[in-house]
Structure 1
Amino acid sequence: MPITGGTSVVNNNTGSGTTTPSQGDNGSNGNNGGGTPAPVKVNSISVSPESMTLIAGEATGTITATISPSNATNKNIIWSSSNKTVATVNNGIVTPLAEGTTIISAVSADDSAKRQRLH
């Protein structure tokens, strides 16, 4: 996410995000007539929009992360910025602070290998 001349540009580089299909549950996908059903694992995360432009010190931008499958048990997202002096992120709300470059990441709390990055 480069911030140049007071402008912050966020691009969703889907090619660098990692999404890994579920490996399955080896045939134990039910509760066999009792007990607790097996949790539904996250397969992937996507983010929207694919790009955004923000002005440092002015309005925030919102990134929406979508978990797949929609019935995943743990849909929590861990957001982070690689350079918190340039921009911060809290629950998908990006606050541009200064000129520079940062990467915003959305990572599944269910499986840290499931992530999406905005450059």
Structure 2
Amino acid sequence: MPIYWAFLTYMLLRPGLENKEYVFMFPNFDKLVHFSIFLALGFFFRLRFPRFSFLYFSLILISYALLTEILQDIMKLGRSLEVWDAVADILGLSLSYYIYNRYNKN
């Protein structure tokens, strides 16, 4: 979990690069990436801390999602705050919480 968290933080805050176009890319592809990585983060977080309530889960991970978006804008490294990125992050976290609780009835 700490390695994933560190890797995710690096990827979200590293300097922005020229966006190359790839065959599989489509408009707003980055929103799908945000959704996917926060889906994984939320699921790993639930595996590691299964007794955390929805409130703690939400406070910690949504704060992290919003903080990384704000830092992208403040750091001026070629990235910027995008509300739809934060929405994708929160949707990924919400789905991970739902899936974990739906299939883990302990």
The structure with the greater share of residues assigned to helix is 2
Is TM-score (shorter-chain normalized) higher than 0.5?
no
TM-score normalised per structure 1 = 0.29
The structure with the greater share of residues assigned to strand is 1
TM-score normalised per structure 2 = 0.31
Higher-Rg member (1/2)? 1
- Pick 1 or 2: higher relative contact order, CA cutoff 8 A, min separation 6: 2
